[in-house]
Amino acid sequence: MRSRLILALLIGLVFALAGCAKPVPAGREVRVAAAADLKYAFDDLAAAFRAKHPDIAVSPTYGASGNFYAQLENQAPYDLFLSADFEYPRKLVAGGRAVAGSEFQYAVGHLVVWVPNPSKLDLDGLGIKVVADPTVKKVAIANPKVAPYGRAAEAALKSLGVYDAVRDRLVFGDNIAQTAQFVESGAADVGVIALSLVLSPGMKDKGRYWPVPLDAHPRLEQGGVIITGAADPAAAATLREFITGAEGREVLKRYGFTLPGE
């Protein structure tokens, strides 16, 4: 009888303490629509952010900036948009789909011509003209209709006088990361891709690259913006400040981006 009484008292105490406990707050999260050239750089950046802000989760999705713009126009559930250009964020602000005054530039991207190590193409000697080599069957660029890096690659091929020679050899990735996969896997012989991907751990030892001159294409000024109706605009703003701060800039620099003010 005594043991039953003690057990009942203990059970009552557990429930009483549970009733007094403060409710655990729901986790904070920033859902990020990120341009595909950021695939590895932003993974590292998000990890550094989480180390400093463990209460805020970061959930990135990578793809073509133009596709994200279309989705955000239709109220896709993202909180922060990191585009490979500045035009899409500005258009979202103009259309009321992003918060006015929240737009920011975080980097300037760079294009390179890349070939895998086994390739016998004389990339150092030919530069961009390597794409016109008769042994080259396919040249990969991102889809210019939705990817700023694709538009820049197309412009570079035209301004450097090789577009007409390769237009029938072009294959288009849905985004710049898929374009890199085409040439890395051998589905294309040459790729005109983002330096940030070439410097990633998975690619940096697998090929050779030639930097495309900056004056050969429109400057790849990359911008971001907080989306109207963000679930946690304060958390999105905290991530924005981290990206543009010293730690975020250090990560972006490591992946070959030029930083605002440089």
Nearest Cα to 141, choosing from 177, 106, 117, 94?
Answer: 177
Give yes or no for a contact between 76 and 187, defined as CB atoms under 8 angstroms apart.
Answer: no
Q: CB burial class (10 A; 0-12, 13-18, 19+) of residue 96?
A: exposed
Residue type, 133: D
Tell me whether residue 176 is annotated as binding: yes
Nearest Cα to 179, choosing from 223, 149, 213?
Answer: 149
Q: Which residue has the tokens 């294309």?
A: 188
Tell me whether residue 59 is annotated as binding: no
Q: Which residue numbers belong to the known binding site?
A: 65, 176
Specify binding-site residues for molybdate. Answer: 65, 176
